[in-house]
Amino acid sequence: MNLIYGLAKEQFLNGSLSWANDPIKVLLVGTLHYSPAMNADQFLSDIPVAARVATSGTLTGKTATLGVLDADNITVEAVPSNEVDALILYKHTGTEASSRLVAFIDSGVGLPVNAGGGNVAITWSNEATRIVTI
């Protein structure tokens, strides 16, 4: 399921969340320790520490043409050997309790991946839905 968190949709609609202007990062997670509650989870603090594998830098080249979210591909370096089952996009504020969860992605080419301490290249889809569609 590749979905936008329900409360993120609300934030997009009321203008509190801006794909184009907010710093968005990707959290690599293992779903053994996290099952998303798409209409209840809202902040990074809702993701158990045990589920967190690694975090990307800030996404660049973000677009939202016709509600389709896209960004430049990104590489997360030195990812521990934990298995990565999903990606969580979130608005990075520097504080877990206010870093808004944006999208949960657990299906796509290359997922799951066991990095074994190496780098994980995240290449967003070139299909019509790109990263995810609002």
The tokens for 28 are: 């690599």
pLDDT at 134: 87
pLDDT-derived band of residue 123, with 50, 70 and 90 as boundaries? very high
Query: How far, in Å, CA of 23 to CA of 94, rounded?
Result: 10
65 touches 5 (CB < 8 A):
no
Q: What torsion do the CA atoms of 73, 130, 114, 47 make, to the nearest 10 degrees?
A: 100
Q: How would residue 91 be classed by pLDDT, with cut points 50, 70 and 90?
A: very high
pLDDT at 128 over 90: no
Can you give the residue ranges of every domain in the chain?
A: 2-127
User: What average pLDDT score do residues 2-22 get?
Assistant: 95
Q: Residue 81: pLDDT above 90?
A: no
24: left (phi over 0), alpha (psi -120 to 50) or beta: beta
Q: Confidence band (pLDDT; 50, 70, 90) for 3?
A: very high
Give the per-residue pLDDT at 96.
97
